[in-house]
């Protein structure tokens, strides 16, 4: 389940985060410290960002120390921490770094004797099995190194939420104390468990939360995905329907993009005219997702196995499978599993806690579309294969992918307003979550286009007690656009209960303020696509 970081020439994007990190280091060296938390899903690229930054950053005034936290005996972690501190110091003075701990001690013996004396004290405490005391002294080593050398320290704790797996009594208490008193150490932490990390910030490090800037690492947006394809597949022609299906399937997840584009590059390497068409796409998905030896097959299998340790694995996986099959609310899931709603709620709570599933109003959805795809079209077929013939099962997989691509082609032919209309017709008094706000979506008796000023055609949806008016903005929204929409609303005799503009290309600041004043909801393309996904509809990819 672990993935290798990407840096150097293969590193792609993330310039906004790299620039933010660079600003924090520059400010730190000038006396202003802003500790930072980098949060994001598994394999989203947090470690790659940090490794790429540290590899390219050079300043003799700063000692960069990178430590990965993982479930292991604490004495292993302690030696890794001390070794990383010594290696970071040697790098800062331009010395060659050894990867053997005793060799690092030998090389720094005459350079930082006071710090090494403190390290020997830590090792004595470790030998006495006083691990909590050793952890306190271990964290103090960064200040000891600063006092001796005058250099400031950047300490990176990758997967810091795993500190609680080191068999310590209260690691976050000691960590919090170090954060408060060691002003010459800049702390960067990462976590793949966003909910858990936020709980630690709020409950364990509450006093320090104001001093922690949280940077969320998202998936690549559609534009970045297309740029990624161009950079990884130079000279390869990509068929338009395949391009959009590929982007939707991977959802801009860097690891998935990297694995699949590498496989595609191998498949088209010897072609006279390399092209990523439907056949090549399906072949790459077969190798990476369907075949048991595929990297992505192994990755997803590892996710399920890690989740299942010490839990009711079979029941939980069947619940996850139900969501992947399109049963996204408690009652349909209960019927599919033939379990009570209370049983399903408990299993869903566990899946949400593990961040395999996200709760969006009354819906549940798998956060990784590719995992959902794998569960539905690979895992489900292998678990419930009553035929037993690999060739028939594989052909069924190919047919299903072809059907999905065909569906996307048909969906692309529709105007987006038509897709809004079809979406509204699916509402069944559900609750959806948009921008952290919950909205009830009525079962509309009538949904239609409503021509207004001859320039735009909003979608109007009605029930006896509610009326929605939704306009799709194909260009960046201006103040004039918002005013025209307000005028259209004022011309209507009956009250409009929900006013929505879908801002496909964004909105100007003044227009945004005007819309807020007029109580108009602004759905970004991301918001609209999240709702489409809840109702099992293809996303809009521009």
Per-residue pLDDT of the chain (542 residues; tens, 9 = 90+): 556 667 667 788 899 999 999 999 999 999 999 999 999 988 898 999 999 999 888 888 999 999 999 888 898 999 999 999 999 999 998 888 888 888 988 999 989 999 999 999 999 999 999 999 999 999 999 999 999 999 999 999 999 999 988 888 889 888 988 888 889 999 999 998 888 888 888 887 766 544 778 899 999 988 899 999 999 999 999 888 889 999 999 999 999 999 999 999 999 988 888 899 999 999 999 999 999 999 999 999 888 887 765 455 677 888 999 999 999 999 999 999 999 999 999 999 989 988 889 999 999 999 899 999 999 999 887 766 555 566 677 888 899 999 999 998 898 888 899 999 999 999 999 999 998 899 999 999 999 876 554 445 688 899 998 999 999 998 999 999 999 888 888 887 788 899 999 999 999 999 999 999 999 999 999 999 999 999 999 999 88
Q: Which fold would CATH assign to domain 8-216?
A: Rossmann fold (3.40.50)
| Comma-separated ranges of CATH 3.40.50.300 domains in the chain | 8-216
Residue 7: helix, strand or coil by DSSP? coil
Give the residues across from 409 on adjacent strands.
Answer: none
Which letter does DSSP use for residue 507 in this model? B
Q: Could you say which of 3.30.365.10, 3.40.1350.10, 1.20.120.430, 3.30.420.10 is the CATH number of the domain covering 416-534?
A: 3.40.1350.10
pLDDT for res 456: 55
User: How far is CA 21 from its chain centroid?
Assistant: 19
Beta strands in 267-368 (DSSP E): 275-276, 357-360, 363-366
Residue with tokens 């997989």: 397
pLDDT for res 2: 58
Q: How far apart are CA 18 and CA 320, in angstroms?
A: 35
467, 497 in Cβ contact below 8 A? yes
pLDDT for res 454: 46
- Dihedral pair phi/psi, residue 434, rounded to 5°: -125, 120
Go through 125-140 and write b for each residue having 16 or more CB atoms within 10 A of its CB, e for each that does not.
bbeeeebeebbbbbbb
Q: How far apart are CA 462 and CA 469, in angstroms?
A: 9
Q: How far apart are CA 353 and CA 444, in angstroms?
A: 34
pLDDT for res 3: 65
Q: How far apart are CA 72 and CA 207, in angstroms?
A: 29
pLDDT for res 521: 93
pLDDT for res 306: 76
The model carries a pTM of 0.87
Q: How far apart are CA 367 and CA 341, in angstroms?
A: 22
Which letter does DSSP use for residue 443 in this model? -
| Comma-separated ranges of CATH 3.40.1350.10 domains in the chain | 416-534
Residue 426's CB is within 10 A of a number of other CB atoms, namely 17
Q: How far apart are CA 92 and CA 412, in angstroms?
A: 54
């Amino acid at each position: 389940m672990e993935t290798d970081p990407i840096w150097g020439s293969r590193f792609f994007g993330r310039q906004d985060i790299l620039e933010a990190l660079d600003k924090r280091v520059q400010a730190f060296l000038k006396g202003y410290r802003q500790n930072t938390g980098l949060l994001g899903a598994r394999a989203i690229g947090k470690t790659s960002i940090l490794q790429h930054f540290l590899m390219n950053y050079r300043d003799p005034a700063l000692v960069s120390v990178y430590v990965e936290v993982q479930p292991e005996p604490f004495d292993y972690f302690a030696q890794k921490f001390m070794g990383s501190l010594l290696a970071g110091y040697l790098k800062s003075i331009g010395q060659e770094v050894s990867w053997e701990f005793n060799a690092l001690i030998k090389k720094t013996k005459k350079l930082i004797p006071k710090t090494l004396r403190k390290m020997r004290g830590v090792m004595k405490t470790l030998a006495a099995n006083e691990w909590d005391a050793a952890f306190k002294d271990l964290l103090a080593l960064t200040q000891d190194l600063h006092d001796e050398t005058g250099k400031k320290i950047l300490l990176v704790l990758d997967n810091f939420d795993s500190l609680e797996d080191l068999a310590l009594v209260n690691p976050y208490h000691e960590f919090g104390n170090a954060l408060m008193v060691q002003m010459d150490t800049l702390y960067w932490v990462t976590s793949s468990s966003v909910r858990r990390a936020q709980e630690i910030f709020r409950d364990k490090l509450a006093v320090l939360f104001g001093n922690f800037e949280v940077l969320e690492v998202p998936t690549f947006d559609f534009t970045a995905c297309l740029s990624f394809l161009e950079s990884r597949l130079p000279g390869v022609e990509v068929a338009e329907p395949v391009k959009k299906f590929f982007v939707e399937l991977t959802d801009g997840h860097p690891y998935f993009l990297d694995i699949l584009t590498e496989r595609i590059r191998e498949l088209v390497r010897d072609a006279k005219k390399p092209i990523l068409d439907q056949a090549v796409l399906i072949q790459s998905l077969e190798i990476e997702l369907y075949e048991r030896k595929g990297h992505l097959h192994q990755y997803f299998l590892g996710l399920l196995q890690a989740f299942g340790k010490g839990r009711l694995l079979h029941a939980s996986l069947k619940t996850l499978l139900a969501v992947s099959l399109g049963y996204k609310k408690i009652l349909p899931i209960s019927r599919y599993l033939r379990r009570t709603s209370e049983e399903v709620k408990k299993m869903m709570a566990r899946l949400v806690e593990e961040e395999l599933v996200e709760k969006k109003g009354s819906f549940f959805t798998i956060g990784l579309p590719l995992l959902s795809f794998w569960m539905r079209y690979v895992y489900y077929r292998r678990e419930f294969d009553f035929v037993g013939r690999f060739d028939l099962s594989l052909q069924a997989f190919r047919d299903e992918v072809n059907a999905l691509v065909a569906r996307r082609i048909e969906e692309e032919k529709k105007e987006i307003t038509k897709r809004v209309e079809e979406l509204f017709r699916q509402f069944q008094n559900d609750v959806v979550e948009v921008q952290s706000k919950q909205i009830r979506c009525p079962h509309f008796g009538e949904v239609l286009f409503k021509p207004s000023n001859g320039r735009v055609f909003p979608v109007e949806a009605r029930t006896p007690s509610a009326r929605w008016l939704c306009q799709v903005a194909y260009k960046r929204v201006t103040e004039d656009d918002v005013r025209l929409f307000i005028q259209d609303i004022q011309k209507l005799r009956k009250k409009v209960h929900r006013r929505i503009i879908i801002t496909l290309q964004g909105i100007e600041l003044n227009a945004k303020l005007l819309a807020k004043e007029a109580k108009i909801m602004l759905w970004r393309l991301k918001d609209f696509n999240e709702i489409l996904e809840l109702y099992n509809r293809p996303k809009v990819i521009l």
